[in-house]
């Protein structure tokens, strides 16, 4: 493979660059290889993380295989075989181990750590500038996910708060908050999980922007397809994708039932401002807290694609293609893990569709 280092004078030419080696990126790389493309020659995977595992390697220690929603298999290799059946193992250990085994099994040759700073249009090709060198590609599969873009809403007075503020991304252990009053903000599954843990060691208050919607009964395939369609319709219209929980609702699990019995799920409406000692609501009543934990989700990490001007005035990106992975404004770019494919099972399906569509669109010929 030619030298991709920052000192290389010319950009390494490839057909396709995959940016990100989480579930979506590895799925895409697998399918590119299945189509006959050779890693390092026809395509290359760049990953910002220092080791395999995508965002999973940064998850909090208490998130084990017994508490995580589900880790779906990557194509061609079972996660269960890799995990060994021990549900007490931390997800931040088990999933990176699985991803590392997957990369080795299929010879995907991920270049890491490699941070992509910017992608620019150079006529027939796209120029990918990274801290590991320059790359010239005919097409891009972007699979950077959301972990690098935590979202915290800008409420009045936020900078005046004298206590501690942190996002889900920074959470490590509930015991860190012992003896403090913690305000948990957010209505997603992560907010519920962390509220459960923290409420066992200290006092908590839970606030959400809208009333949480708990889902009774199993979430079957029909319900899943309906949820995905709602998100897909938005991105095909160029609108920003909604959060997953806004579509699926929260599953009423035994753990959540236990939280309800403990009185932990007494949700309050969203406050209107933050004070130096806590928060205040529109009716004037206030609450003193020591910690504000923002479980307010993430945004797609797409800043490096800004020069391509893919966004609409609405702030969203108009998507097309079989599974809504192809960018309408530039069909050479596929976003896998964006919108309807922002789930582990969705990323697998989207990786297969995106690679086939992009290879066909570019007219790429397999090297082997």
Average pLDDT over the chain, rounded to whole?
90
pLDDT tens-digit profile of 140-150? 999 999 999 99
Q: In this predicted structure, what is the pLDDT of residue 222?
A: 66
pLDDT at 53 over 80: yes
Residues in the chain: 368
Q: In this predicted structure, what is the pLDDT of residue 148?
A: 92
pLDDT at 325 over 90: yes
pLDDT at 197 over 70: yes
pLDDT tens-digit profile of 95-122? 999 999 999 999 999 999 999 999 999 9
Q: In this predicted structure, what is the pLDDT of residue 244?
A: 59
The model's confidence at residue 340, banded by pLDDT at 50, 70 and 90, is confident
pLDDT at 63 over 90: no
Q: In this predicted structure, what is the pLDDT of residue 293?
A: 98
pLDDT at 56 over 70: yes
The reply to whether domains 12-148+299-362 and 158-213+249-294 share a CATH topology is yes
Domain range annotation of the chain = 12-148+299-362, 158-213+249-294
Higher pLDDT, 77 or 215: 77
pLDDT tens-digit profile of 260-276? 999 999 999 999 999 99
The answer to which of 238-242, 294-298, 329-333 has the lowest mean pLDDT is: 238-242
pLDDT tens-digit profile of 265-305? 999 999 999 999 999 999 999 999 999 999 999 999 999 99
pLDDT at 5 over 70: no
The answer to which of 21-35, 77-91, 201-215, 315-329 has the lowest mean pLDDT is: 77-91
Q: In this predicted structure, what is the pLDDT of residue 61?
A: 87
Q: In this predicted structure, what is the pLDDT of residue 32?
A: 97
CATH class held by domain 158-213+249-294: alpha beta
pLDDT tens-digit profile of 128-178? 999 999 999 999 999 999 999 999 999 999 999 999 999 999 999 999 999
Structure tokens at 40: 């390092």
Architecture of domain 12-148+299-362: 3-Layer(bba) Sandwich (3.50)
pLDDT at 312 over 90: yes
pLDDT at 1 over 60: no
Higher pLDDT, 119 or 339: 119
Q: In this predicted structure, what is the pLDDT of residue 70?
A: 65
Q: In this predicted structure, what is the pLDDT of residue 347?
A: 80
Q: In this predicted structure, what is the pLDDT of residue 4?
A: 61
Q: In this predicted structure, what is the pLDDT of residue 367?
A: 63
Q: In this predicted structure, what is the pLDDT of residue 265?
A: 93
Q: In this predicted structure, what is the pLDDT of residue 319?
A: 97
Q: In this predicted structure, what is the pLDDT of residue 212?
A: 84
Q: What is the pTM of this model?
A: 0.90
């Amino acid at each position: 493979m030619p030298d991709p280092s920052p000192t290389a004078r010319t950009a390494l030419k490839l057909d396709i660059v995959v940016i990100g080696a989480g579930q979506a990126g590895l799925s895409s790389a697998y399918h590119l290889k299945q189509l006959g493309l050779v890693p390092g020659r026809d395509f290359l995977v760049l990953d910002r993380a220092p080791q395999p595992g995508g965002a999973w390697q940064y998850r909090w220690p208490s998130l084990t295989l017994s508490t995580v929603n589900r880790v779906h298999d990557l194509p061609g290799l079972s996660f269960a075989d890799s995990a060994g059946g021990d549900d007490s193992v931390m997800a931040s250990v088990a999933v990176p181990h699985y991803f590392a085994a997957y990369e080795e099994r299929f010879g995907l040759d991920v270049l890491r750590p490699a941070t992509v700073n910017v992608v620019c249009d150079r006529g027939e090709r796209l120029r990918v500038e990274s801290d590991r060198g320059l790359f010239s590609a005919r097409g891009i599969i972007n699979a950077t996910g959301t972990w690098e873009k935590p979202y915290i809403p800008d409420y009045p007075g936020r900078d005046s708060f004298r206590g501690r503020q942190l996002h889900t991304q920074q959470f490590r252990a509930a015991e860190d908050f012992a003896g403090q009053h913690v305000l948990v903000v957010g209505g997603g599954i992560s907010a519920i999980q962390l509220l459960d843990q923290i409420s066992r060691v200290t006092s908590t208050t839970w606030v959400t922007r809208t009333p949480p919607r708990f889902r009774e009964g199993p979430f079957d395939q029909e319900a899943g397809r309906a949820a995905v369609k709602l998100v897909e319709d938005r991105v095909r219209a160029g609108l920003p994708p909604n959060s997953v929980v806004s579509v699926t609702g929260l599953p009423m699990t035994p753990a959540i039932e236990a939280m309800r019995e403990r009185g932990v799920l007494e949700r309050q409406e969203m406050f209107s401002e933050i004070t130096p000692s806590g928060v205040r609501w529109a009716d004037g009543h206030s609450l003193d807290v020591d910690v504000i934990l923002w479980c307010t989700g993430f945004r797609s990490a797409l800043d490096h694609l800004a020069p391509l001007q893919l966004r609409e005035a609405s702030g969203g990106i108009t998507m097309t293609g079989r599974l809504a992975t192809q960018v309408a404004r530039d069909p050479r770019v596929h976003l896998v893990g964006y919108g309807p494919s922002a789930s582990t099972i969705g990323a697998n399906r989207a990786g297969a569709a995106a690679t086939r569509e992009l290879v066909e669109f570019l007219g790429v010929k397999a090297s082997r």
